[in-house]
Amino acid sequence: MKKFFLFFTAFFSALGSAFADGGPKEWQMNFRPAATPTMEKVVAFHNFVNPIIIAIALFVIALMTYIAIRFSAKNNPKPTKTTHNTTLEIIWTVIPVLILVVISVPAFKLLYFSHYNPNTEMTIKAIGNQWYWSYEYPDHGIAFDSNMLCGTKEECDELDKETGKKHVRLLDVDEPVVVPVNKKIKIISTASDVIHSFAVPAFGIKIDGVPGRAQDTWFEVINEGTYYGQCSELCGMLHGFMPIAVKAVSEDKFNEWVQNKKAAASNNLEFKKVEIINN
Which pLDDT score, from 0 to 100, does residue 183 have? 94
pLDDT averaged per 10 residues in sequence order, the chain, 279 residues: 42 36 68 91 94 95 93 83 84 94 94 88 95 94 92 85 83 94 95 95 94 94 93 93 95 93 70 50
Euclidean distance between CA atoms 104 and 42, whole angstroms: 14
Euclidean distance between CA atoms 56 and 34, whole angstroms: 27
Segments of the chain assigned E as strands: 122-129, 132-137, 142-146, 177-180, 185-191, 196-200, 205-209, 215-219, 225-230, 243-249
Using CA atoms, how far residue 243 sits from 44, 81, 156, 160, 174, in Å, is: 27, 61, 15, 18, 11
Q: Could you tell me how many residues make up the chain?
A: 279
Using CA atoms, how far residue 50 sits from 35, 56, 73, 125, in Å, is: 21, 10, 36, 34
Which pLDDT score, from 0 to 100, does residue 22 have? 53
Q: What does the angle CA 219 – CA 225 – CA 229 come to, to the nearest 5 degrees?
A: 60
Which pLDDT score, from 0 to 100, does residue 6 have? 40
Which pLDDT score, from 0 to 100, does residue 267 have? 63
Which pLDDT score, from 0 to 100, does residue 5 have? 41
Euclidean distance between CA atoms 171 and 200, whole angstroms: 11
Which pLDDT score, from 0 to 100, does residue 279 have? 56
Considering only CA atoms, give the Rg of the chain.
26
Which pLDDT score, from 0 to 100, does residue 24 have? 65
Which pLDDT score, from 0 to 100, does residue 167 have? 86
Contact 202, 32 (CB under 8 A): yes
Contact 245, 172 (CB under 8 A): yes
Please give the domain boundaries of the chain with CATH numbers for all domains: 2-115 (1.10.287.90), 122-275 (2.60.40.420)
Predicted structure pTM score? 0.78
Which pLDDT score, from 0 to 100, does residue 59 have? 95
Euclidean distance between CA atoms 146 and 43, whole angstroms: 29
